Amino acid sequence: MLFKVEMTVIPPAHLSEDEFNAIKLKEKNYAQELQKSGIWLHLWRVAGLYANVSIFEVKDNQHLHDVLMGLPLYPYMTISVTPLCQHPSSIK
Residue 1: DSSP 8-state: -
As a whole number of angstroms, the distance between CA 71 and CA 83 comes to 19
Closest among 11, 6, 2 to 79, alpha carbons compared: 6
5 binding a copy of itself? (CB under 8 A): yes
Partners of 76 in the β-ladder = none
Q: Supply the minimum distance, in Å, between the C-beta of residue 40 and a copy of itself.
A: 9
Q: Supply the minimum distance, in Å, between the C-beta of residue 18 and a copy of itself.
A: 16
Partners of 52 in the β-ladder = 7, 45
Contact set for a copy of itself, span 9-38 (CB under 8 A): 11-14, 27-28, 31-32, 35-36
Residues at the interface with a copy of itself (CB under 8 A): 1-5, 11-14, 27-28, 31-32, 35-36, 42-49, 52-53, 55, 60-62, 64-65, 68-69, 75, 79, 81-92
